[in-house]
Amino acid sequence: MDVEQNDGQTLTSDLQALSVSDPLSNQFSSLNDLCYEASSLQELASRGSWRSILDKVVRARKLSLLQKPHEHLIYLCYNVLALTKLRKYGEASEELDSLEDFDSARYKYETHPEHYPNRSGSMVPFALRWIHAEIPQRLGKRQETLDRLYSLLDFVRTKLKEKESKNMNFCVDRWKKREAFLISSISSHHLSHKEFSVCLALLRQLLNSDPSNPILLSKLGYIQMQLGDLEGSKALFNRVETLMTEGNPGALLDEVQFKNLVNRNKALIYLVGKDYVSAVREYEECIERDPTDVVAINNKALCLMYLRDLSDSIKVLENALERIPTVALNETIVVNLCSMYELAYVNHSDIKRTLSNWIARVAPDDFDSSCTRI
Amino acid sequence: MNASMGLHSLTFRVMRLCRPSFQVDDPLRFDSLDLLTGEDIFDDPATVSQAQLPRLFHRCNTNTTKPGEVDTYRNRYVLQNPTDAMGLPGFLVLPQAFGAIYLGETFCSYISINNSSNVEVKDVIIKVEIQTERQRIMLLDTSKSPVASIHSGGRYDFIMEHDVKELGTHTLVCTALYTDGDGDCKYLPQSFKFIVASPLSVRTKVRTVKDITFLEACIENHTKSNLYMEQVDFVPAQNWSTTTLKADEHYSEINCQTREIFKPPILIRSGGGIHNYLYQLRLSSHESTQMKVEGSNVLGKFQITWHTNLGEPGRLQTQPIFGSPISHKEIKLKIVEVPSITISGRPFLIRLNLTNQTDRKMGPFEVWMSKGNFHEQKAITVNGLHKMVLPHVEAFESTDFNLNLVASRLGVQKITGITMFDIKEKKIYDPLPDLEIFVDAD
């Protein structure tokens, strides 16, 4: 098969020869060829307009705008995702309950030959399996979520073995990404419950198959730093720096991102050694290189506070929110800023209310405003 | 001082400033391919161009504008790479609650004096003190150089550190003596209480095997955090040397590819977790027969350092650890001669040797044979006085004495239960090991 000339705009002659009744084999220059108004879903999700997505799904269902089985599944997936983002976990759970078992025939392409004449396999979006596993924890049933996630990991590994044995390299790559995603997600659950040993054991598995991943190495370093193993984290950060000087492995990070990662790691080492001045210097280098590096901005503000400069630490955060709201507006920065306000002002409720009003105008639908502690 | 305590222009704001923590999120971020396509869509390469789809998504997933310029909240929805799902982007977060404080930690706090009035205040003398049950420790005193002025809406900040060395209630007392807008002298006291608890308990066991002493220590974590044990060292007393004994590595560790990069840390679980340590102690002096035992038997003490988040340190030293109670070695008692023939019913003598292995005079002593544990009478008993008294024995000297015994039964019998008692020290020594003899008939 010929490779396309440019970004998916031209078809090869092979594809042109195929039947046009299978919607997924058509030339697609836009996402809409995959699913009814998919690009609109993508756009709304990128803006954080989850309430609009709910409306869109209701409308599509009411007016019967979805023709194909896979479109119903995708819209259901976005519906559940939107409900989850909006913290309406009960409704999300109900929506998921309306589904049959994921492996049932109903969700296989071959069951609907009238829609997908030449296709077989599961039409379930992988994200839906994951969301289904995540929901119980948000309803207070943490163990259920862990059970589902570990089962899902088994499922992914089985698929991986299957694709590897058939030399389906592209599929192997996709399922490997899903495996890494799942392991990371499970680690997040253990981390938030301070189950560090389990978390480290899981991530070691990931590291074994990807030992030169600078992002993964750095995150392992953060975990070690969090639990207090400073020597261990230093060793990991040194390895990341070595990787950078050796040349960029893979396409994980571009030059600016890689340099900033190394600088931020250096800053952390200074920070734990209580050399806040040097840490600030490292973060300023990052910000100079990439003015949207919000991790550097946030951490710099904290260093300033540990240097007794509460006024400047507040200015750094306020400035970021004003200058680059879509990158800087996240719950962590707001929590830090509000802590600073509570310290700096006796009557801090006024200034927090000002912040809160601004957030209400600018924030995406899923922003958790309880972080302002008003 | 003639200062009034009415409405104040100044207020103290205090925040505990222990080290920050990494923010752990619960992200809901995806690879868009996993949302908008079925999971098996790439199984059939003939119908779908495999490279085309991802390129399409790549355009949508990443920034289409200049690097760094994002005009949407895309990063709350889309993964840049799979490990983003870990929810550990690297943001640090300020401590959100006062938390618990433990002995051995450092109490650090950010103190800010705010002027929330409309007028300037002058000549502010600030004092910060920690009061415990036992003492008062001055941390800051600006009497010699008062703060000239704090304008309306202004602040004066400082960061205090104090190593916590006592248990129980601590009070952080902040006072400000200042001249307000009306020229009145005002006095503002504010105090903040916290309680210091004990973070660890150390239980030890000492066992001696031949001339090696083993020390087993069990550390239990009573805090609310997991503790990373940075250092658990046994500092031996004079005359002793110590080696830490470590378990062999598990085979899965040795074969692990990432062994060079990354070692599992020693982490004691919060709220009751334990970890055991083992040390081997030897006496430094090579003359084990002439041991200088000075009454007390101190082996040494533990020096423990732990870390919590981001390396926040805590340090403790234990009380001295003692070895086993005084053993035989101060005094050596042994049977040196037994008759070659022993006849039942006929008294016989055994000769014993008592050696004083210390550098001081010891005794006087009493020697006797303990009565049997069983209801039956012992086969070999003392003939004559039940107790025998021995006089002092000089340092490093020895003395011989005889015990007059008689056997009442035939055959192989045991001379058992010869016990020695140091009258002066009021110390009883373990009985001599049993000695078997053959008792003949008349």
Residue to mutate among A206, A332, A334, A366, with most B CBs inside 10 A, is: A332
Q: How far apart are CA B437 and CA B442, in angstroms?
A: 16
Which pLDDT score is estimated for A5?
Answer: 37
Write the residue in B11, B41, B306 that is nearest to A346 by C-beta: B11
**d(C-alpha B321, C-alpha A204), whole Å:** 39
Which of these ranges, B186-200, B261-275, B373-387, has the smallest mean pLDDT?
B373-387
Cα distance between residue B234 and residue B323, in whole Å: 13
Contacts of A323 in chain B (CB under 8 A): none
Cβ–Cβ below 8 Å for A122 and B40: yes
B230 vs A contacts (CB less than 8 Å):
228
Residue at A143 is within a domain: no
Q: What is the predicted pLDDT for the residue at A374?
A: 81
Sign of CA dihedral A33, A37, A43, A45: negative
Give the β-pairing of B101-102 and B185-197. parallel
Query: Which CATH number does the domain housing residue A284 bear?
Result: 1.25.40.10
Mean pLDDT along residues B227-242: 90
**Share of residues in chain B with pLDDT > 90 (%):** 52
What pLDDT was estimated at residue A347?
87
Compute φ and ψ for A295, nearest 5 degrees: -65, -45
Q: Is residue A228 part of a domain?
A: no
In this structure, are residues B389 and B366 in contact, taking their beta carbons and an 8 Å threshold?
yes
Instruction: Give the tokens for residue A169.
Output: 């390299």
B257: which chain A residues are within 8 Å (Cβ-Cβ)? 208, 211
Mark yes or no for CB contact A47/B73 under 8 Å.
Answer: yes
Nearest to A188 by CA among B308, B262, B29, B253: B29
Question: From the CA of B293, how many Å to the nearest CA of chain A?
Answer: 41
Residue (of A36, A85, A35) closest to A63 by Cα position: A36
Cβ contacts below 8 Å, chain A against chain B, sum to 310
Establish if A147 belongs to a structural domain.
no
Residue A321 lies in a domain: yes
The interaxial angle of helices A196-209 and A214-227, nearest 10 deg, is: 160
Q: Is residue B172 within 8 Å of B130, Cβ to Cβ?
A: yes
Give the domain range for residue A366: 273-374
- Interchain CB distance below 8 Å, B226 and A168: no
pLDDT greater at residue B65 or residue B260: B260
Q: Is the peptide bond before B364 cis (omega within 30 degrees of 0)?
A: yes
Number of CB atoms found within 10 A of residue A225's CB: 27
In chain B, whose CA is at the least distance from the CA of A159? B40
The pLDDT of residue A251 is 67
What does the pLDDT read at residue B324?
Answer: 67
Pick from B22, B34, B86: CB nearest A127: B34
Q: Classify strands B227-236 and B267-268 as parallel, antiparallel or unpaired.
A: antiparallel
Residue with more model confidence, B90 or B48: B90
Q: Using the predicted structure, report yes or no on whether residue B373 has a pLDDT greater than 70.
A: no
> Are A120 and B44 a contacting pair, CB within 8 Å?
yes
Res. B230: pLDDT tops 60: yes
Residue whose entry in the numeric block shows the structure tokens 């150089």: B145
Per residue in B3-12, pLDDT (tens digit) is: 444 578 899 9
> DSSP states of B262-293 as a string?
-----EEPTTT-EEEEEEEEEESSS-GGG---
Closest CB to B50: pick one of A46, A170, A302. Answer: A170
> Of the candidates A184, A200, A222, which has its C-beta nearest B90's C-beta?
A222
Question: DSSP string covering A159-211, please?
Answer: HHHHHHHTT-HHHHHHHHHHHHHHHHHHHHHHHHTT-HHHHHHHHHHHHHH-T
DSSP state letters, B23-70:
-------B-THHHHS-TTTTS-TTTS-TTHHHHHHHHHHS-SSSTT--
Give me the torsion for CA of A50, A55, A61, A67, rounded to 10°: -60
Judged by CB atoms closer than 8 Å, whether chains meet at A224 and B23 is answered as no
Q: pLDDT of B64-85, one tens digit each? A: 444 544 578 999 999 988 999 9
> pLDDT per residue over A34-75, tens digit each?
889 998 999 999 999 999 999 999 999 999 999 999 999 999
Q: What is the pLDDT of residues B172-193, one digit of tens each?
A: 999 999 998 888 899 999 999 9
- Structural domains in chain A (count): 1
pLDDT the model gives residue A16: 33
**8 Å CB contact between B304 and B318:** yes
Indicate yes or no: CB of B262 within 8 angstroms of CB of A232: yes
**Residue type (1 letter), A56:** K
Give the chain B residue whose CA is nearest to the CA of A287. B68
Please list, residue by residue across B241-261, b when 16 or more beta carbons sit within 10 angstroms of its beta carbon and e when fewer do.
Answer: ebeeeeeeeeeeeeebebeeb
- State the pLDDT at residue B46: 56
Q: What is the ipTM of this complex?
A: 0.90
Tokens in use for B207? Answer: 């066992």
Residue of B nearest to A305 (CA): B110
Domains, chain B, with CATH or none: 10-19+95-197 (2.60.40.10), 32-85 (no CATH), 210-322 (2.60.40.1230), 331-440 (2.60.40.10)
Q: How many CB atoms lie within 10 A of CB B292?
A: 11
Kindly report the nearest CA distance between residue A46 and chain B, in angstroms. Answer: 4
Which amino acid would we find at residue A38?
Answer: A
Specify whether the CB–CB gap between A136 and A94 falls below 8 A. Answer: no
In a domain, A348, yes or no: yes
Domain-embedded: residue A316: yes
> B93: which chain A residues are within 8 Å (Cβ-Cβ)?
332, 335-336
Q: Does A175 reside within a domain?
A: no
Q: Which residues contact B49 (CB under 8 A, 6 or more apart)?
A: A1, A4, A8, A12, A15
Low-confidence ranges of chain A (pLDDT < 50): 1-21, 26-27
Residue A374: both structure tokens together = 């008003």
3-state secondary structure of B181: coil
Please state at what angle helix A276-289 crosses helix A255-272, rounded to 10 degrees.
Answer: 170
The pLDDT of residue B265 is 84
Distance (Å) from the C-alpha of residue A346 to the closest C-alpha of chain B?
7
Task: Examine residue A340 and state whether it is found in any structural domain, yes or no.
Answer: yes
